[in-house]
Structure 1
Amino acid sequence: MRADCANCFGLCCVALAFSASAGFPADKDAGEPCRELRTDFRCGIHQRLRERGYRGCTVYDCFGAGQKVSRVTFGGQDWRRAPDTARRMFAVLPVMRQLHELLRYLREALTLEPARPLHTGIRAALDTTEHLTRADAGTLLALDMTARREAVNPLLLRTSELVRAQVPGKKKNRRGADLSGARLKGADLRGADLRGAYLIAADLRGADLRLADLIGADLRDTDLRGADLTGSLFLVQTQVNAAKGDAATRLPPGLDRPAHW
């Protein structure tokens, strides 16, 4: 579920569009190679992305979809040597990324003991999703991802409820709430439902986010210095990379402390 750029044909550097903004220094159309992409499909400024204005790249993660499309869907045939594959390869990437994101959540759900009653259903959903990631390009492009997410989401919701029930007392429900810029320093958010919440530039210094559900929460510039995210649910590396933290920020196992912290 982690990007392996050595086995990818720089797909995110070509397939995705971006506009001149705080995250990127210039405009780029979808299907146009980034000007920093080298002939070996590596980034020429990977260690200096933030200082060169490519902050957006540092908070993107394909969840391993890039190498799956490159090596499995297209069998190692790259878009430079086989330009007739380019358009379909680039179109498949976002579909594969969504499937791999679902795999990431489902695999986490299987590790959560309180959700054991759901494990049979979770495992079945995982197997189905994994099977889809090995389909051909035509099948992937025809896939109804909305339906796939709707099939998986109830399992993830119920998993969240069972895990968060381990926290005593009434839990805060901030699902989908706009908490941009909110002053939540030191807040007790144990077991809170923060699914899809907008926490852009919120002050969560020293907040207790243990066992909080953070799936889809927007953590851009969220101040997590000293916050405790131990056991938080469905938190992914892209969210961590987008936030601000420090050596005192406690992260769940499997997530890396960003270098810019």
Structure 2
Amino acid sequence: MRPFTSKLAKLALSALSAGCLAVAIAPAASAFTLVPDREGEIDAGVGPSLSNDGYLDTSDLGYTVESLDFDVNRNNRTTTTRSRLFVDRADTSNNYNGGISFRSRDIGTSDNNGTLWLRPVAMIQQGSGILERGQLEAGFFRFNFTTALRDLTMSFFDVESRGTSVLRVNGEDVNLAVAPKGDRRESSISLSNVRTLEVMIGNANTSGPNRNDRRWRTGDGVLVSGTGTTEDVPEPAAMASIALAAGGLSWMRRRRQQVAEES
């Protein structure tokens, strides 16, 4: 074997090894879940926590959440409010400060199988306390993800009236309504390439175009969860290795072409 040919073979092996490295360090999918693994309150930017244990930390799950204003029509009055956000098992009882009380069998929204859900609480005042003592599971939230989600499936439990919708993804209007399926059933919406998400959960109105039954005295409470995958980004050093591998292959092709022309 001629010296140059031997050198070319070594370069080929080197490039192949670099190529294998590039494959090994290519972005890898990681599982994502929206729901922390224990009950408590999530910081949605509405003031101090009502839990004696303080807020649950969602940063290790890869997101933050912000409660947004929405309008509620009750007794011919329109009230602008926001909601708190809790992690809750619908078959357990929990009491929080501020008059919020979750029953062991929640009004209209209970799966009875120990699943943890995100549970909004509309902060509408009635008299000196919270309306329905925190039983009105409705709210408007913006989720901000640390790493873009390659895919995300949002699950909604107990959607009984119109109003629950994914309104914006990455700042763009999408208006994906969740079809009512009735008591204790689950609906879902699948999304891709999600960096931010704005979603209306439940329906706090007792009447109007979003209601199925105007005789209802309470709103439509909905629980929500989400699962998906993120795409891990390679470290800068790894990206440099990929660039070197590509450069080596390009140089090898040029040298091969020169040898062919000299022959």
TM-score range, shorter chain: under 0.3
Q: Could you state the TM-score of these two structures normalised by the residue count of structure 2?
A: 0.23
Structure with more of its chain in helix, by fraction: 1
Q: TM-score, normalised by structure 1?
A: 0.23
Q: Which has the higher contact order (CA 8 A, sep 6+)?
A: 2
